[in-house]
């Protein structure tokens, strides 16, 4: 029988399962709502759905670069605890997804979740992992690069930070050095042109206020044109801190990144820090124990 969108919506609201899983459940049970709920429970999918509201801010960032070095992927998969992030099944799932992204080039996260690996959607694989591992698993984001030059990746602290860099060329060592630089120094852009104008305007405003306050406290007042020059100097310093090419090389403070590139160029880079932007649940264990005792 034909399954209506309204039925899928109703089952999704009742179970919290994904739309594709709800449609499969209804199809398998000829549209019987209760039987479809039971079907999802039997598959462990409704169990996973109960965990959907939990906060998953742990996990790992993983990188994958093809053997020819022409396609690379950075992906973040989240779970609830460090313990689960070290689970072999979790790591295998993340590696499988990263390779799949490299091979299929999905347009966005929705397309990735709807795509199939060995006959199952990525969304279904994530849901199954949630049910099996016992924690909410979520596929948060990914970036895919293709290049005619050279790709390099770096994973720090087992997946707490991940970097993927696209260079015009160079050695494996150079690629690793640049990727490590991005991980350690967290640049905003490759060069000055890549820093958003609104960010520069904000930094200039802050620098001007600082200069004006310093001038106010000084016994010898500086004219406005001198204050502008002070601001210009501080903006130049800011660029050296946030622009990759101008940054001091972390492995040799006597060199800049431009100098270690030796004529090569970084065309793009991406840096993921695990869980950034996710509001983590704060546990008050003392309060929890006290509440249980009462």
CATH domain 55-146 topology: Tetrahydropterin Synthase; Chain A (3.30.479)
Given a cut of 80, whether residue 143 has pLDDT beyond it is: yes
Q: 180-185: which pairs have CB atoms within 8 A and are 24 or more residues apart? A: 180/154, 180/250, 180/251, 181/244, 181/247, 181/249, 181/250, 181/257, 182/154, 182/244, 182/269, 182/271, 183/154, 183/156, 183/271, 184/250, 185/244, 185/247, 185/250
Beta-carbon contacts of residue 72 (< 8 Å; ≥ 6 apart) = 63, 64, 65, 66, 102, 144, 145, 147, 151, 153, 164, 166
Which pLDDT score, from 0 to 100, does residue 280 have? 62
Domain ranges of the chain: 5-50, 55-146, 192-260
Which pLDDT score, from 0 to 100, does residue 1 have? 76
Given a cut of 80, whether residue 17 has pLDDT beyond it is: no
Which pLDDT score, from 0 to 100, does residue 281 have? 53
Top-confidence residue, 47 or 80:
80
Q: From the CB of residue 93, how many other CB atoms can be counted at a distance below 10 Å? A: 23
CA distance between the termini of the chain: 54
Q: What's the CA gap between 258 and 249, in Å, rounded?
A: 9
Which pLDDT score, from 0 to 100, does residue 200 have? 97
Residue linked to tokens 């990525």: 122
Q: What's the CA gap between 244 and 190, in Å, rounded?
A: 5
Which pLDDT score, from 0 to 100, does residue 286 have? 53
Q: Tens digits of per-residue pLDDT, 255-292?
A: 999 999 999 999 999 999 998 887 665 545 455 445 54
Q: From the CB of residue 283, how many other CB atoms can be counted at a distance below 10 Å? A: 8
Which pLDDT score, from 0 to 100, does residue 247 have? 98
The CATH number for 5-50, chosen from 1.10.10.60, 1.10.8.10, 1.10.760.10, 3.40.630.30, is: 1.10.8.10
Which pLDDT score, from 0 to 100, does residue 289 have? 45
Please tell me the least confidently modeled range out of 43-47, 86-90, 131-135, 202-206.
43-47
Which pLDDT score, from 0 to 100, does residue 9 have? 85
Nearest to 144 by CA among 200, 198, 105: 105
Q: Tens digits of per-residue pLDDT, 84-116?
A: 999 999 999 999 999 999 999 999 999 999 999
Please tell me the least confidently modeled range out of 26-40, 210-224, 273-287.
273-287
Residue linked to tokens 């990735």: 112
- CA distances to 26, 35, 45, 258, 275 from 19, rounded to whole Å, are 11, 16, 12, 49, 26
Q: State the chain's mean pLDDT as an integer.
A: 90
Rounded to 10 degrees, the C-alpha dihedral 83/84/87/93 comes to -150
Which pLDDT score, from 0 to 100, does residue 184 have? 96
Given a cut of 80, whether residue 52 has pLDDT beyond it is: no
Residue linked to tokens 């690996």: 117
| Cβ proximity of 106 and 76 under 8 Å | no
Top-confidence residue, 27 or 44:
27
Please give the structure tokens belonging to residue 249.
């090389």
Q: Tens digits of per-residue pLDDT, 177-195?
A: 999 999 999 999 999 999 9
Continuous H helices in 30-72 = 33-42, 45-50
Q: What's the CA gap between 291 and 82, in Å, rounded?
A: 26
Q: What is the pTM of this model?
A: 0.77
Q: Where are the beta strands (DSSP E) in the chain?
A: 58-65, 71-79, 116-117, 120-121, 138-146, 150-156, 161-167, 248-249, 252-256, 266-273
Average pLDDT over residues 118-133: 92
Q: What's the CA gap between 71 and 144, in Å, rounded?
A: 7
């Amino acid at each position: 029988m034909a399954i209506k969108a309204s039925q899928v919506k109703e089952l999704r609201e009742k179970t919290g399962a994904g739309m594709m899983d709800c449609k499969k459940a209804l199809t398998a049970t000829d549209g019987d709502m209760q039987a479809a709920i039971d079907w999802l429970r039997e598959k462990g999918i409704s169990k996973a759905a109960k965990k959907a509201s939990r906060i998953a801010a742990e996990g790992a960032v993983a990188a994958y670069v093809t053997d020819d070095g022409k396609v690379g992927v950075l992906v973040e998969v989240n779970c609830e605890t460090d313990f689960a992030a070290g689970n072999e099944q979790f790591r295998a799932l993340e590696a499988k997804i990263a390779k799949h992204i490299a091979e299929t080039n999905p347009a966005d996260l929705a397309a990735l979740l709807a795509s199939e690996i060995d006959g199952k959607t990525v969304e279904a694989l994530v849901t199954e992992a949630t049910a099996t591992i016992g924690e909410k698993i979520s596929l948060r984001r990914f970036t895919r690069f293709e290049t005619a030059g050279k790709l390099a990746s770096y994973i720090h602290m087992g997946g707490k930070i991940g970097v993927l860099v696209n260079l015009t060329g160079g050695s494996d060592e150079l690629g690793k050095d640049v990727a490590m630089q991005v991980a350690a120094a967290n640049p905003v852009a490759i060069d000055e042109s890549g820093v958003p104008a609104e960010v520069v305007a904000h930094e200039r405003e802050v620098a001007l206020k600082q200069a004006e306050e310093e001038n106010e406290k000084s016994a010898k007042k500086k004219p406005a044109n001198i204050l502008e020059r002070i601001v210009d100097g501080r903006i130049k310093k800011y660029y050296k801190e946030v622009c990759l090419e101008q940054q001091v090389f972390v492995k040799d403070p006597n060199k800049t990144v431009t100098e270690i590139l030796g004529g090569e160029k970084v065309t793009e880079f991406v840096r993921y820090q695990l869980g950034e932007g996710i509001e983590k649940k704060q546990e008050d264990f003392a309060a929890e124990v006290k509440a249980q005792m009462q």
